[in-house]
Structure 1
């Protein structure tokens, strides 16, 4: 138990519920999502198991403040708490149905009623959320505060960026949150000023979510599949669809405007897109996002006079759109909040709580830039050994304790083997960054089929990613503006060398790469694996995909890792220093 450390928490109760822990000296020391504890991807509801885990490390008396990243919490999320009952659940579902009917009948009337709801009923829901949070943590409710959802995104984007001592343009863009879907703000001399907002009914993010649903995929989860499919469509066919949809949402100076409330975009798609092929639809909506995003960002830079941009919100999970923005001549510096969906919003609300505490107590706040994302749990060799013995795993598999495990992993990869690796602290966020990853030789395209068929069961068009030694980054992708490539949140144009040595880690059609640059000081073990692999092959990177079965979260513990190992075709599993092999 870390009894001496005073902390601030950010707790998100919604989609992909997460708890983030900020130390009193302004550094994030933990961040975990409930999905990893429950093995339920993107779990929505109160993060009970994570909260218990955090309290075991940081007792209630050491919690100085808690920030919740919603001013007006969606009551549907609260229906999944222990305090909910059947009436509460059914009432909220009925309200959602009535809202949809009203929206279809009269958009203006809907908006007026929504504002009244937000100012009255939703505030009561927010209070209930505070009470639930205080009770779960065992603290006074006065320590818990709600902060606007878009403010939480904005704070995460600015304060965790490497530019948090500079003036910057702060952009948030998501499906919706607290009645808005986009904000443009300036941070000058330490003061955030919002200069434009877009209401939730004009949401570029919601449109993209609905096209994911329209294409038969899971909304709020499979948007990356639409993005991955888009490059396969031919431009002339994309243009045919684009002509139909381009007027649905437009940029008006610093805001988005739409022909209809975007909560109805799925209905419109059903009427307008029935004659178009699936890949062309994906290509057209990806083009729509890229074109509108470029115009919006360009206008914001021109209006603000600021050419350093920091960005957060779920739309910025679209790595290809991020590439399009980064190539704007007016963008000089750019930073995307890692895993910028709602799972990062508790980081912003923890910062908001910390800043408020500093103002109240006349302290000088110092928020440290985000570095590595290894903010989760870890397991020891002793725990692993005991579990293996208890489960009689040595009766079924070859098990060996290996001191120089990095060298052995590199050797296996160089021999064409696929290795699942669990080591160190678990990564926070949507991307596996080496500690909960499946690794392979990126120069061998034939391994893609093996990983897909025996483990991942991914759609055929979906690319894998690459982890690249920091000192080899320039060999493999073009990055003239020096944009951070540490977190797999950006796509880049690959070099001819990458198209030879990292071909399995590129998009198979447009040959872009979504890299993780591996720094030795952030993850020496992973760096050593890749460095040893480079010594054997000359290749300064490895194929990296998340360690999980399709439809499930990334594994958290040795228990989950062994479950995946036994349910899949993986031959080699590494748990810290233990090498487990199916004979």
Structure 2
């Protein structure tokens, strides 16, 4: 039984036909399972390079099939986490609004979409449609290894609801309750996130900010908005939320300083979420007597909430789907299609190294050599020991190995690593590598054997490989682990097993031998403008446009030849616009404007100089900047190639709006 799960939007990356808002149908992905085993899972953003992309997951589907050496025609089912009648309705509305669009059913439209990508006519009977929250729930229950469990799917909203509760027994899930979107805790958290001056998908920042605050200061304001009711119900009055927030503090602008008031508001928000979720779970645990809990949906990524749930002791075991965001819907949909047609059990999820492979040493070196004007490299048979020495000496290291992770966390295959002992490393990575807020914490990757020694973890629990829980750091280790201990003396841990990821384990073990600390700081390998790196070229690009000290890919260690002259060598590279970006020249009252816009967020535009605009009009990834300039006669001359021009190129490259690649040597 071969099943492909797909989630995301309906447009290709070059299109915006459906005008889907940036915050809808986000985190597109594909998952391929064979006889109950996940053999590939890829997020579309890793391939089209647009964070949280809501485009159709065609590249991800292609990558899953390529990884497993299957063809689209080999599939038994194509699972979609959307009700068929809902998609039928949307397509009918499109036909009315845009007569040129044509008339489609869900099945005929998806058939056409796949035909455009794969040039294969899929039997429309192979499409299997499932409910949004049922797919979330399935993504957590089926790979959890639990025979019996309570399952909570909780997010912003999906198909009119914000959550659902299930009782799962013997591989079947029975729905116990749904919660309408009018009571959405996910949307509540997002609304307060906006008020605090953050943007869409920044809820995790507010969770981190909450640890700096005192929840009691504003809890009474939030308590006026909701009431806990019998049988696991609650009411929430969103009509007064904005007014209440303005009574507390004016809406913060992005550039405004974060004050203690903002921290206290974040803390009150976090406490409100936790109280309501615990109310729901406590009731349904009492009704079902389940000792195991499964969590999924975007709210389930709140690892501080997960810590509280576990600490209350109402469940003996808690499994959180590591891809709890909407990217995990493709996995859940695939599980449901499989269980619909097969009695073969879904294999437990022991890891999420399910994506693109970085390549073997030969292919890695071949790609690195193209960047020889910028980088020098050396290969080692003991790369883990060499990297551990770099970390112990204070280097911040980009680390790429094997297959990429599925989900929002880097877990040792596409990671930035550092020594966890010194708080200065946290500040340095936040400010000059990740370019993000200084208050945000980093996670420790700890050898599984030492987790209980360092963190206050329930004695009967051993493995926490997915960074889905925080735990208290034991007093004697707080000062020893400054870079990975949050302000409230907690840490979002990843336990590392030798059996699951031997290379990452060997690296941490080597660092342990050098320093006595069985932990490294681990954060995702990307800057704040891009998804986690997926390929060698993307890793090198991030390396060259950040202050990372060392890059390790496979068995190869890479250093910058001379970081100070990278700007001067940019003209040797071949530019092209990144996917989804469009050049727009406008003229308004004799004032010419040269802009970049994109197909995924109408609110974003970038102003260009005329020179860069003209060059990018002709950029095709086959000519260097120098060659393009020589062809544009009116821009020849030294006046054109000046410091502002080079700075503009570097800025666009750093923001991943343009892609630069070296010529083949």
Q: Same fold (TM over 0.5)?
A: yes
Residue of structure 2 equivalent to 1:319: 303
Residue of structure 2 equivalent to 1:575: 553
Alignment map for 1:148-187 (pairs within 5 Å): 148-163=131-146, 166-187=147-168
- Cα deviation code 1:64-98 (max 9, x no counterpart): 1111112168779989xxxx89955999xxxxxxx
SS at match of 2:218: helix
Structure with bigger helix share is: 1
Residue of structure 1 equivalent to 2:265: 281
- Corresponding residue to 2:30 among 15, 19, 23: 19
What is the CA–CA distance in structure 2 between the aligned matches of 1:203 and 1:270, rounded to whole Å?
Answer: 17
- Cα deviation code 1:224-254 (max 9, x no counterpart): 00000001113xxx32321111232333345
| Native 8 Å contact 1:45 1:77 kept in 2 | no
- Does residue 126 of structure 2 align to residue 143 of structure 1? yes
What is the CA–CA distance in structure 2 between the aligned matches of 1:339 and 1:31, rounded to whole Å?
Answer: 10
SS at match of 1:169: strand
- Does residue 475 of structure 2 align to residue 464 of structure 1? no
Q: CA deviation at 1:279?
A: 1.6
Q: CA deviation at 1:34?
A: 0.8
Contiguous gaps of at least 5 residues in structure 1: 1-5, 92-120, 359-363
Residue of structure 2 equivalent to 1:112: none
| Native 8 Å contact 2:31 2:61 kept in 1 | no
Alignment map for 1:261-272 (pairs within 5 Å): 262=238, 267-268=242-243, 271-272=246-247
Larger Rg: 2
CA distance 1:532–1:483, change in 2 (3 Å): closer
Residue of structure 2 equivalent to 1:350: 334
CA distance 1:86–1:18, change in 2 (3 Å): farther
CA RMSD of aligned residues (A): 2.6
Residue of structure 2 equivalent to 1:212: 193
- Corresponding residue to 1:244 among 221, 238, 244: 221
Alignment map for 1:36-55 (pairs within 5 Å): 36-55=46-65
| Native 8 Å contact 2:416 2:525 kept in 1 | yes
What is the CA–CA distance in structure 1 between the aligned matches of 2:262 and 2:495, rounded to whole Å?
Answer: 34
Residue of structure 1 equivalent to 2:482: 503
Greater relative contact order: 1 or 2 (C-alpha under 8 angstroms, separation 6 or more)?
1
Contiguous gaps of at least 5 residues in structure 2: 9-24, 252-260, 562-665
- Does residue 82 of structure 2 align to residue 70 of structure 1? yes
What is the CA–CA distance in structure 2 between the aligned matches of 1:12 and 1:303, rounded to whole Å?
Answer: 33
Q: CA deviation at 1:564?
A: 0.5
What is the CA–CA distance in structure 2 between the aligned matches of 1:562 and 1:432, rounded to whole Å?
Answer: 17
Alignment map for 1:439-458 (pairs within 5 Å): 439-458=417-436
| Native 8 Å contact 1:502 1:542 kept in 2 | no
- Corresponding residue to 2:314 among 330, 347, 350: 330
- Does residue 535 of structure 2 align to residue 557 of structure 1? yes
When normalised by structure 1's length, the TM-score is 0.85
SS at match of 1:560: helix
- Corresponding residue to 2:493 among 501, 504, 515: 515
Residue of structure 1 equivalent to 2:567: none
What is the CA–CA distance in structure 1 between the aligned matches of 2:81 and 2:189, rounded to whole Å?
Answer: 23
Count of residues paired in the alignment: 526
CA distance 1:179–1:556, change in 2 (3 Å): same
What is the CA–CA distance in structure 2 between the aligned matches of 1:380 and 1:542, rounded to whole Å?
Answer: 25
SS at match of 1:208: helix
SS at match of 1:376: strand
- Cα deviation code 1:130-181 (max 9, x no counterpart): 4455535532111011100111111111111021xx2211111111112221
